[in-house]
C-alpha cells in the first residue's frame, strides 16, 4: 500500500485549494439556510445528497433527529479515526448584508458551523479519493445541536461511538478570536467543562414595611450571589482557572412587597475534573447553607453540560506537525485555553483525541466579529486551511 508518509503533505493543500469553490459554495448555502439544533432537516438533506455522491461511503441518517454518520473503509486491519462536524445555527437575527446572508428570520450561522460542515464534506471528498491509500478507516460524524442542546450526548446514546468504536477522535472549530494563519492545538486542557445551575430560594412573602413578619429571599439570594464568588477567589489555587457567573436573577414585582421566592440561573466553568467536583460540591453547600441560615428553603438543579476538552499530547503533537508542514508560516499556539465549552468533549473523553482551533478573523476585511455576534463572519480562506489540515491529519494519524 502506498503510505502517506512517503508522499509530500503539501499535495493535500493543493487539493484543498482546488476543491475550494465547492467548499465555499456549500458554506454559503448552509449560511443562507441556517437551522436551529435538532431541526437541521434541510441541512441534513444537503449533507446526505453530497455524501451519496461518494459511492464507497456507508451512510446512516436520522441519528439524534438530524445527525449523520458516514463510514469510509480503508485497510480493515488499521485504526478508525472519527472526524466530527457540527451542524446547528443560533437564534440570532443576522445583521450582515452579504449575498449569502441568512434567509431564515431570527436564525443565523453565527458560530461558524456552516464552515465546519463545508470542511467536513470537502474532507470526505478528498479522503474518498485517497481510499486506496488509507491505512485505516474514517468515520465522519455530522452532529446536530451543539449549542447547549445536548446533540453529542444524544448521538452517543444512539450508538455512534460503537460499531466500530474509534481509535482516534478529531474535531475542529473556526476561531474568530484569532486571525487567519493562527492555529490553537494545545497539549492537555483547552476548553472548559460547563454546567448550568438553576436555584430557587424560597422564603415567606410579606409587607416591605414589616420585614420581621416575612422571610426575605432577596437578602438571602444577594448573599448567595456574593459568597459563591469566594469559591473561585478564596478556595481554588490562584493558578487554577474557574468561573461562576450568575446570568439571571428574578424575584418580586412591587417596591413594597417582600416576595416569597427568588430564582437564580448561571454557569460554572472549570478545567480540572477534581476542581469541577470540588466547585460543584461547595456551590451546593454555600447555596443551601446561606439559604438555611436565613430561614429560607432552597432547591438546586445542576445540569452537567460537558467535561473539559483535553487533548492527547501525542495526537496534538502529530496534528501540530501536520500544520507546520502544510503552513510553514503558521502561528502555532500550544498552550491556548478558553473558558468556552464544547459538547465534543463527550466524544473525546475516552479516546486518543485532539481538538483544533483554526484562526479565521481578518480585521482588515471587517471579518472579526466574535462568535455569536449578529455580524459574525470569517475569512473563507480558513476553509482551505481547515480542509487541508483535517484531511492530512486524518491520513497521517491512520498511517502508523
DSSP 240-294: S-EEEEEEEEEE-SSTTEE-SEEEEEEEEEESSHHHHHHHHHHHHHHHHHHHHHT
| CA–CA dist 117, 87 (Å, integer) | 7
Phi, psi (degrees; rounded to nearest 5) at 168: -135, 145
Question: 381-398 vs 313-326: helix axis angle to the nearest 10?
Answer: 130
Question: Whose Cβ is closer to Zn ion: residue 148's or residue 164's?
Answer: 148
| CA–CA dist 341, 276 (Å, integer) | 13
Question: Whose Cβ is closer to Zn ion: residue 341's or residue 362's?
Answer: 341
Strand order in the sheet with 297-306: 242-251, 261-270, 193-202, 297-306
> Which residues are annotated as catalytic?
88, 146
Phi, psi (degrees; rounded to nearest 5) at 293: -65, -20
DSSP 125-157: HHHHHTGGG-SSEEEEEEES--SSS-HHHHHHH
Q: To 5 degrees, how large is the angle CA 17–CA 389–CA 384?
A: 30
With CB atoms as reference, the residue minimizing the distance to Zn ion is 111
Least separation, in Å, of the C-beta of 16 and Zn ion?
Answer: 21
| Best CA proximity match to 247, nearest among 284, 204, 195, 203 | 195
| CA–CA dist 312, 346 (Å, integer) | 14
Least separation, in Å, of the C-beta of 143 and Zn ion?
Answer: 11
CB 83 within 8 A of CB 57: no
Least separation, in Å, of the C-beta of 34 and Zn ion?
Answer: 12
Question: Which 8-state DSSP code applies to residue 112?
Answer: S
Least separation, in Å, of the C-beta of 370 and Zn ion?
Answer: 10
Strand-pair category, 168-179 with 193-202: unpaired
Least separation, in Å, of the C-beta of 37 and Zn ion?
Answer: 11
Question: Whose Cβ is closer to Zn ion: residue 368's or residue 399's?
Answer: 368
Question: Whose Cβ is closer to Zn ion: residue 111's or residue 291's?
Answer: 111
Question: Which 8-state DSSP code applies to residue 44?
Answer: H
Question: Whose Cβ is closer to Zn ion: residue 111's or residue 123's?
Answer: 111
Least separation, in Å, of the C-beta of 354 and Zn ion?
Answer: 17
Question: Whose Cβ is closer to Zn ion: residue 125's or residue 178's?
Answer: 178
Question: Whose Cβ is closer to Zn ion: residue 51's or residue 111's?
Answer: 111
Least separation, in Å, of the C-beta of 371 and Zn ion?
Answer: 5
Name the grid cell of 332. Answer: 502555532
CB 142 within 8 A of CB 47: yes
Binding footprint of Zn ion on the chain (CB under 5 A): 111
Amino acid at each position: 500500500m502506498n503510505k502517506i508518509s512517503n508522499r509530500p503533505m503539501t499535495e493535500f493543500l493543493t487539493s484543498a485549494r482546488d476543491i475550494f469553490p465547492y467548499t465555499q459554495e456549500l458554506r454559503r448555502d448552509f449560511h443562507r439556510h441556517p437551522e436551529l439544533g435538532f431541526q437541521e432537516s434541510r441541512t441534513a438533506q444537503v449533507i446526505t445528497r453530497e455524501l451519496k455522491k461518494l459511492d464507497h461511503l456507508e451512510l446512516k441518517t436520522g441519528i439524534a433527529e438530524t445527525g449523520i454518520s458516514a463510514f469510509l473503509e480503508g485497510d480493515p486491519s488499521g485504526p478508525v479515526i472519527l472526524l466530527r462536524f457540527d451542524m446547528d445555527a443560533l437564534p440570532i437575527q443576522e445583521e450582515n448584508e452579504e449575498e449569502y446572508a441568512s434567509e431564515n428570520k431570527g436564525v443565523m450561522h453565527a458560530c461558524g458551523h456552516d464552515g465546519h460542515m463545508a470542511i467536513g464534506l470537502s474532507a470526505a471528498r478528498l479522503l474518498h479519493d485517497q481510499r486506496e491509500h488509507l491505512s485505516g478507516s474514517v468515520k465522519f460524524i455530522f452532529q446536530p445541536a451543539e449549542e447547549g442542546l445536548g446533540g453529542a450526548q444524544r448521538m452517543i446514546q444512539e450508538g455512534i461511538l460503537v460499531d466500530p468504536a474509534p481509535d482516534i477522535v478529531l474535531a475542529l472549530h473556526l476561531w474568530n478570536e484569532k486571525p487567519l494563519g493562527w492555529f490553537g492545538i494545545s497539549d492537555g486542557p483547552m476548553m472548559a467543562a460547563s454546567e448550568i445551575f438553576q436555584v430557587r430560594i424560597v422564603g415567606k412573602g410579606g409587607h416591605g414595611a414589616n420585614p420581621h413578619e416575612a422571610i426575605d429571599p432577596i437578602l438571602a439570594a444577594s448573599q448567595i450571589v456574593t459568597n459563591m464568588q469566594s469559591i473561585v477567589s478564596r478556595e481554588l489555587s490562584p493558578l487554577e482557572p474557574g468561573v461562576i457567573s450568575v446570568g439571571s436573577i428574578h424575584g418580586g414585582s412591587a417596591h413594597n412587597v417582600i416576595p416569597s421566592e427568588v430564582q437564580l440561573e448561571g454557569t460554572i466553568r472549570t478545567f480540572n475534573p477534581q476542581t469541577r467536583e470540588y466547585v460543584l460540591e461547595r456551590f451546593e453547600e454555600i447555596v443551601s447553607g446561606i439559604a438555611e441560615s436565613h430561614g429560607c428553603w432552597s432547591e438546586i438543579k445542576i445540569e452537567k453540560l460537558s467535561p473539559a476538552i483535553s487533548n492527547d499530547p501525542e495526537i496534538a503533537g502529530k496534528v501540530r506537525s501536520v500544520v507546520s508542514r502544510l503552513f510553514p508560516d503558521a502561528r502555532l499556539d500550544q498552550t491556548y485555553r478558553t473558558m468556552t465549552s464544547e459538547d465534543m468533549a463527550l466524544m473525546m473523553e475516552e479516546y486518543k483525541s485532539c481538538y483544533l482551533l483554526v484562526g479565521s478573523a481578518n480585521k482588515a476585511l471587517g471579518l472579526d466579529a466574535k462568535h455569536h455576534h449578529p455580524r459574525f463572519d470569517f475569512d473563507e480562506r480558513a476553509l482551505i486551511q481547515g480542509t487541508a489540515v483535517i484531511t492530512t491529519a486524518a491520513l497521517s494519524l491512520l498511517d502508523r
